Amino acid sequence: MRVCITISYNGALYLGSQTQTQTSNTIFNQIQNVLKEINIDSNPQTGGRTDKGVHATGQTFHIDIPEYWHNLKKLKETLNKMLPKSIYIKKIIKVQNDFHARYGAKSRVYRYIIKKSKSNPFENDLVSFYENINFEIIQKNIKLFEGEFNFINFMKTGSEVNSTIREIYKTYAYKHKDFFVLYFEANGFLRSQIRLMVGALLSLDDTQIKEQLLSKKIHKIKPAKANGLYLAKIKY
């Protein structure tokens, strides 16, 4: 029986989401180890990936489970008892046998959270602090990223992909209490693309962003910090 599982996690202490052979300190290494303990021998196929220090409120993955785990409520409770407190199973639903968490995704939503102040030890793992930002300009310029572009200049060097063209469906920025939230929804993202786009919003003007998008002129961009980035939702 195939199920799709939605999870949230605090990625501050992990070396990314994807399983690695050289370390067990990743989100899905932890999940896979717990699955094996309850006799589910199925490799999680994820809907998205997050890098070191990045969080999620709506990551998904699918696995095939034995029929004796048909009680999905009990499975959810069992997993949440066994997993570290930094990882939480939000939902488990039965899906068709041909469902694929990655290839079936229609869009992915990320949020980037900024606080305009000095850092503090209570929020430092979860929010990026910048003392000098112009939120009105960010709110205007974030719209420049909407559409289909070759994002080769907004990608971590050394990444291997078949295509660097992505379509961003929706972007906007809003204020929530003391936080500034940047919203990005696209058919997919390149590695570090969002952090580089946020870095551009923090350091470049609208003309420079356009030049970078169209490869007319390349500007040096420092990627925004990982701790403000959240994989918020994967839409199917």
Q: Looking at the structure, tell me whether residues 111 and 221 fall in a common domain.
A: yes
- What's the pLDDT at 69? 96
Look at residue 193 and tell me whether its pLDDT is greater than 90: yes
* Number of domains comprising the chain: 2
Q: Looking at the structure, tell me whether residues 173 and 81 fall in a common domain.
A: no
Q: Do the Cβ atoms of 8 and 47 come closer than 8 Å?
A: no
Q: CA-CA distance, 195 to 228, in Å (whole number)?
A: 9
Q: Give the domain CATH number at 196.
A: 3.30.70.660
Q: How large is the average pLDDT for residues 126-143?
A: 95
Instruction: Using the 3D structure, point to which of 62, 94, 126 is the last residue of a domain.
Output: 94
* Per-residue pLDDT reduced to its tens digit, 93-107: 999 999 999 999 999
Question: Which pTM value belongs to this model?
Answer: 0.94
Enumerate the β-bridge partners of residue 114.
128, 180
Q: Looking at the structure, tell me whether residues 128 and 197 fall in a common domain.
A: yes
Q: Do the Cβ atoms of 127 and 179 come closer than 8 Å?
A: yes
- Residue 22's Cβ-count burial label (10 Å; 0-12, 13-18, 19+) is exposed
Residue 102 lies in a domain: no
Q: How large is the average pLDDT for residues 154-181?
A: 91
Give 226's pLDDT tier (boundaries 50, 70, 90): very high
Residues serving a catalytic function are 51
- What's the pLDDT at 160? 73
Q: What is the DSSP string of 48-109?
A: ----TT-EEEEEEEEEE--GGG--HHHHHHHHHHHS-TTEEEEEEEE--TT--TTTT-SEEE
Q: How many residues does the chain have?
A: 236
Look at residue 125 and tell me whether its pLDDT is greater than 80: yes
Q: Looking at the structure, tell me whether residues 127 and 202 fall in a common domain.
A: yes
Q: How large is the average pLDDT for residues 24-45?
A: 96
- What's the pLDDT at 156? 87
- Element (DSSP H or E) covering residue 28: helix 27-37
Give 161's pLDDT tier (boundaries 50, 70, 90): confident
Q: Which residues contact 181 (CB under 8 A, 6 or more apart)?
A: 111, 112, 113, 114, 173, 174, 175
For residue 205, the enclosing domain spans 107-235
Q: How large is the average pLDDT for residues 66-77?
A: 97
